[in-house]
A and B are shown apart, each in its own frame.
Chain A
């Protein structure tokens, strides 16, 4: 039971990041590596602010804004300087590593002890439950705002840019600006996830971003494999489900006694498996078809010999 509750709690927090990644990954069709830098950036800003006595909600919002700034940098490099998206992400991610150290002043900051976090604002003593409540509130607000935004005039334009760039230009949409907007929202959400995570885990660490993109992508792919062809809003909700399922799988793997050091290898292998699922599914279908075709041929041959 403990495993289930903690998976839900972790899944909810990770899904904030997964939703952010989804925006660049599916709307712009870019796998944005900036994520692994903006996640610890959100954590670093929030941890630093909280240690200095800032209100935890303000500190969390500052973390979000920091992520937006990181997204702006990547968006600028990609659209205005025409650097390929993958390299853009790597550049910003590498630069952010130093920025995160500047922000924290050291490699990690502890929030344990007498500090106020979003958790302590809650009148709930059970930390896991409090995390679930906070995560749920954040998710509801985030999903509602995103669904609203992507149906406005600008939001429609942003969706069109990733779908058909030529058509967007022909209809007077500044594709560069729209991409930057999506980059900023995406990385803002990723940083927000890092910011919440740091308050719940009780520390921020400069290396906490490593491997996070794979976790977020896995949540997205699980959601897409299980339920396909849904509207934007429903998709965001299914991503939350995907993240929870993923955390549950990881929890079971750890419970089975797998060495935590091999965890990231496992993350990668699992994502590779998820990404190849559509192909595997197709192969199985083709095999079935071939098999049935062969049966049908046999029947026909039998009929002919009977004649």
Chain B
């Protein structure tokens, strides 16, 4: 292997996904995606409804079995690994703020679970360790939401924004090789969404995380990350990085979309955000 290859954190090779394959309802959701993320890449993925964004993310996370193609994380082929197995390499934040945390468990219990991601969990030592509490408090304090004093509160009692911020902490607590963000601010109000997005950027920068972020929000897609990918009908139609991306505007993106898909961006969620 050459030196440049070892820098590749995520490598997707000729990935195809079909739904209801072989029936009249067959939907060829991903049509031969090739995508490589280098260490430290922060890639935002946009595209209309049905473009294949979620299918792509679910394939990488393992919640959707791969039809053809290969997925490598840190040079390891994870194509056929279960979700819980590849969780060792992946930190994930879901769109629904309720999805990333266990509501009946306390804040510290949730964080303690995340702290052992990808490791054997024994049945003799305490789940929440005293020395970990200090770490949790420090990390929670960085959120600026006052959660550092609520370690023993049930997570279910917190607001969506607070839960999403904690999920983000949990996903990054163990420095994942790859961070997957699945429209993780879409269900939040604009103010909270901005806070969580800022926090995301800060964590990704601090920990040099390689990140794949799906978003509906064009402004966020332009503002954050060093690379932007547009999906349309299962194909990558736009891939911009570096200087070109920095100069990008929302109207550029809309033009690009029109040029590549032959139709106007008709997704309200995209236009309004």
| Chain A residues at the B interface, C-beta cutoff of 8 Å | 149, 151-157, 159-160, 163-164, 166-175
Smallest Cβ-Cβ distance to A173: which chain B residue: B84
| Residue B71 CB within 8 A of the other chain | no
Selected interface stretch from B97-105, B201-209, B252-260: B97-105
Assuming the contacts A169-B83, A171-B170, asked whether A153 and B102 have C-beta atoms less than 8 A apart, the reply is: no
Closest B-chain residue to A27, C-beta based? B104
Given A154-B121, A164-B102, verify A169-B113 contact (CB < 8 Å). no
Complex-state Cα separation, A153 to B109, whole angstroms: 9
Judging by beta carbons under 8 Å apart, are B88 and A172 in contact?
yes
B20 an interface residue at 8 Å Cβ cutoff? no
Closest to A169 in B: B83
A160 near B113 with CB under 8 A, answer yes
Main secondary structure on A side of the interface with B: helix
Q: How far is the CA of A151 from the CA of B105 in the complex (A)?
A: 11
Chain B residues near A175 (CB, 8 Å)? 84
Choose from B63, B105, B119 the contact partner of A163 (Cβ within 8 Å).
B105
Check A155/B119 contact, CB under 8 A, given A170-B87, A171-B114, A173-B113. Answer: no
Show 8 residue pairs from A and B whose CB-CB distance is below 8 angstroms, ordered by the A residue: A152-B124, A152-B126, A153-B127, A159-B104, A160-B102, A160-B113, A171-B117, A172-B85
Q: How many A-B residue pairs have CB under 8 A?
A: 92
The residues of B that contact A169 with a CB separation of less than 8 Å are: 63, 83-84, 87
Tell me which of A154, A156, A170 contacts B109 (CB under 8 A): A156
**In the assembled complex, which residues on chain B have CB atoms less than 8 Å from the CB atom of A151?**
126-128
Answer whether residue B251 sits at the interface, using C-beta atoms and an 8 A cutoff: no
CA distance A163 to B61 in the complex (A): 21
Minimum distance in angstroms from A284 CB to a CB of chain B:
26
Q: At the interface, yes or no: B125 with Cβ under 8 Å from chain A?
A: yes
Across chains A and B, which 5 residue pairs bring their CB atoms closest together, nearest first? A172-B87, A156-B127, A153-B121, A163-B102, A154-B123
The docked-state distance in angstroms from the alpha carbon of A155 to that of B123 is: 7
B136 at the interface (CB under 8 A from A): no
Q: In the complex where A169-B83, A170-B83, A171-B170 touch, is A159 in contact with B117 (Cβ < 8 A)? A: no
Considering residues B84, B102, B112, which has the most beta carbons from chain A within 10 angstroms of its beta carbon? B102
Residue B116, interface by CB 8 Å: yes
Partner of A152, one of B88, B90, B117, B122: B122
A167 and B84 form a contact (CB under 8 A): no
B94 close to A (CB within 8 Å): yes
B32 within 8 A of A: no
B127 shortest CB reach to chain A, Å: 4
Known: A160-B113, A173-B113. A152 touches B99 (CB 8 A): no
Please, which residues of chain A bring their CB within 8 A of the CB of B101? 164, 167
Task: For residue A8, give the distance in angstroms from its CB to the closest CB of chain B.
Answer: 31
CA distance A291 to B106 in the complex (A): 39
Q: How far is the CB of B226 from chain A (nearest CB, A)?
A: 25
- Name the one of A153, A164, A172, A174 contacting B125, with C-beta atoms under 8 angstroms: A153
Q: How far is the CA of A118 from the CA of B83 in the complex (A)?
A: 47
Bound CA–CA A159/B104 (angstroms): 9
Given contacts A152-B127, A169-B84, contact A159 B118 (CB under 8 A): no
Q: For B88, what are the chain A residues with a Cβ–Cβ distance below 8 Å?
A: 172
B92 interfacial by beta-carbon distance below 8 Å: yes
The listed residue with most B CB atoms (<10 A of its CB), out of A151, A169, A174, is A169
- What is the distance, in angstroms, from A149's C-beta to the closest C-beta of chain B? 6
Give which listed residue, B117, B122, B171, contacts A154 with CB less than 8 A.
Answer: B122
List, in ascending order, chain A residues with CB within 8 A of B170's CB.
Answer: 171
